[in-house]
Structure 1
């Protein structure tokens, strides 16, 4: 064997020794330490739903259990909650949706809660009495499952876990709470936050959303209040709203959103006691407000609101029913007024109702017959705008886009007379200053006609748009529109007239 071969053998031997030491270090030292750390961490957790030493599919730490069932028994009462179709529900003593935030806070506490210290290894009855655990102040049972690599396992028996914790009295010195765990005789102390989050009456676990309606999902709204009644509808959730009762008119989408959002924002102030419920339901048979919200998906949401005197004071109650759900609760008295609206409250203040994509021709009418009418057309092949009269040439594309965008957004500062017999008294006729928008076939899409100054307010002009209401528009908004040929045409002569 030559020197080179001897060196190679020596290197191989050294590598084998190093590898053996590495394997020993991992399997003999590191792996047992990891297992011991995992065991300690599991024992330190108040809700130890993983078996000590249990590992995940990759031999690492096991995945966090997914809670599916909770029973909380405290002096305020016993409440059972269950995860159904990814939604937490109270199943006892009532059937109701659970509050997402409250349940989320509870689950966070259960997942993170750890023992602060072990106080008694083998407590006597006297010890248990002293810690408030002889007759526990609260009992919490949690069920969960340990998910597999794909996140499943909810129905697999081998992955099911359950544990029960008993709560004692509070330690007045540091606010901690004394606890015991099912199957474990020891007495521990734990952070007081766990006790605080658990001490709730069943009603405090309930979802306080009273009116589960979202404007984006609605197709029809029928409402009858103390003074007014109305019906709104639209063909699809992408279409604009129309008021169809008591009169027909184009409804302002933002106003409908505002009304629905205001109603949706109310929360239950309280829930009637069992001995009060019958009286409340009787009053709701003749409600002061009733409404039906037809949704795109699911059944309609039916709402009734009434006012009655309980315990010597007037209170307002609401009943919402949809699908298999029903919520009866006390609400703020202002809820009575949200749907008590007149037709004028829904009037759209937008001057013109059109979509920019539908416009293929723009005609700008001059203030006087002697002025030049400006016409712009959109080339069907390129989509670019061109000036057709009084001169022919290329249009400033961004200026035309600005004009259409401004006209689409133009809103009335105020609404005047509806469907007047004489538009002439406002300086508005069939001709005169204004803008007409047409489609590719030459059909009128929308037209803005401008009149004289509003009497007593020289900063506004009378106008007529897509509705039959007299509009007041701000002069500044009209002056900002690019309506002159020099504004709209590339290379327009400086002497070109303005409308």
Structure 2
């Protein structure tokens, strides 16, 4: 028993000796404390400035309330994903291993650290309990990290910190995130934001089409001014601006007068002007040249004294090059729904209209007007009103029709009239003949000047007699007779 105890104690002593000989775990790349391992309770650093020397250029970035921005070599919005990946590596990455604690000049050359492939200088502060402390010198920290060659054995990179002679190995992800030039760190979306809600007017001249739109007085709707005055399709316009603003830069050439001329921007293929409700207008010009037999497109964005020149994909030329039919509002009827107090459903021919009304005397209840009237089926009327409001043109026909009778549209046509409480007409729908060579379309006329085609199914259940809208009378009581 005593011998066994001695053996166990010997094994434990040997184990403890080996543990004591183990080198300490590699530290974090960005140590928030001058000495000793970082504790788990230490606050994560908040980075405020970055200087990245890589790809033959030096990029300086600053954190702003709106996000990270480049301040040199150009002033521009930073790519949030690229900067976030860089900051994340600085915040949480650890060295993979200690390579050489006391390297010689020959060692540094061997590791590629005599002339580093990239150098990152990061400034940060350790926030207090309230998240503040940016101006407190005792909470400020600075790191300069130099990266050298890649170790082909495992893809790691040799790195070294300023003030620390040791050469470490860092994971390849560190190099991928930190070895970035100005283009990689710069936001590629440079045209936006082009929010329709912030604009007052838009004017576009493109290769095949030219058009201009202005915001209506209600602040929500848009109206086409050219090439013809009509209501604009706000939803489609929103999609167009979103697609246009999403175009990304493939490169950022130096913006000079000579460069603009050489790229054809003095005579652009697309010239667009966006006027905001407040602030300076934005002008975007796109031009195309041929390089090595392939089309190359550049976009120039100008707003006040600021301008950005970028190479973009050729498809950017066609994003705004759309015609009237695409920009027109496809709603057949345009009316303020809350103002509707009278609906006149016209059965066509000489038949009497089916009229439902609601007013102050009746509250919100719809009433069937005329002989045999009474309370209307409320939800049926509301459903019909909603259907009329959402009725869309399946296609546009002849513009500015002179002879509506050719399409079966006249005062005797089947349709609907919507009026307000004073009897003023808010909107009118005429339904005409079936569209030839189609299975389910009718010619129609609505609030716009154009002939439109609508689905037969969308208007099939418009009432033609009062009984279609009347509530059933209550069952008569039998007076309690046995």
Query: How high is the TM-score relative to the length of structure 2?
Result: 0.86
Corresponding residue number in structure 2 for 1:308: 289
1:472 corresponds, among 436, 445, 453, to 453
SS of residue matched to 2:429: strand
Matched, 1:195 2:178: no
Corresponding residue number in structure 2 for 1:78: 58
Distance 1:325 1:154 in 2: 31
Alignment of 1:137-148 (within 5 A): 137-148=117-128
1:448 corresponds, among 410, 413, 429, to 429
Q: Is the 8 A contact 1:355 1:408 kept in 2?
A: no
How far did residue 481 of structure 1 move? 4.5
Corresponding residue number in structure 1 for 2:133: 153
How far did residue 437 of structure 1 move? 0.7
- Cα deviation, 1:415-455, whole Å, max 9, x if unaligned, reads 11112111112111123311111111111111111112223
How far did residue 80 of structure 1 move? 1.6
Q: Is the 8 A contact 1:356 1:408 kept in 2?
A: yes
SS of residue matched to 1:411: coil
- Cα deviation, 1:382-421, whole Å, max 9, x if unaligned, reads 3222222343222222111111111111111111111211
* C-alpha distance 466-89 of structure 1, shift in aligned 2 (>3 A): same
2:397 corresponds, among 402, 416, 423, to 416
Query: More helix per residue: 1 or 2?
Result: 1
Matched, 1:48 2:28: no
* C-alpha distance 192-390 of structure 1, shift in aligned 2 (>3 A): farther
* C-alpha distance 161-358 of structure 1, shift in aligned 2 (>3 A): same
Corresponding residue number in structure 1 for 2:265: 284
Corresponding residue number in structure 1 for 2:45: 65
Distance 2:385 2:306 in 1: 47
2:84 corresponds, among 104, 125, 128, to 104
Aligned residues: 448
2:101 corresponds, among 121, 139, 152, to 121
Alignment of 1:349-364 (within 5 A): 349-364=330-345
Distance 1:255 1:178 in 2: 53
Q: Is the 8 A contact 1:218 1:237 kept in 2?
A: no
Corresponding residue number in structure 2 for 1:18: none
Matched, 1:162 2:142: yes
Q: Is the 8 A contact 2:434 2:442 kept in 1?
A: yes
How far did residue 464 of structure 1 move? 0.8
Query: How high is the TM-score relative to the length of structure 1?
Result: 0.83
Distance 2:246 2:430 in 1: 40
RMSD: 2.6
2:420 corresponds, among 416, 439, 446, to 439
Corresponding residue number in structure 2 for 1:319: 300
How far did residue 483 of structure 1 move? 5.8
1:341 corresponds, among 314, 318, 322, to 322
Alignment of 1:480-499 (within 5 A): 480-481=461-462, 485-491=466-472
How far did residue 319 of structure 1 move? 0.5
Q: Is the 8 A contact 1:215 1:257 kept in 2?
A: yes
How far did residue 357 of structure 1 move? 1.1
**Structure 1: which 5+ residue stretches go unaligned?**
1-39, 494-499
Distance 2:341 2:37 in 1: 71
Distance 2:37 2:449 in 1: 75
Q: Is the 8 A contact 2:52 2:181 kept in 1?
A: no
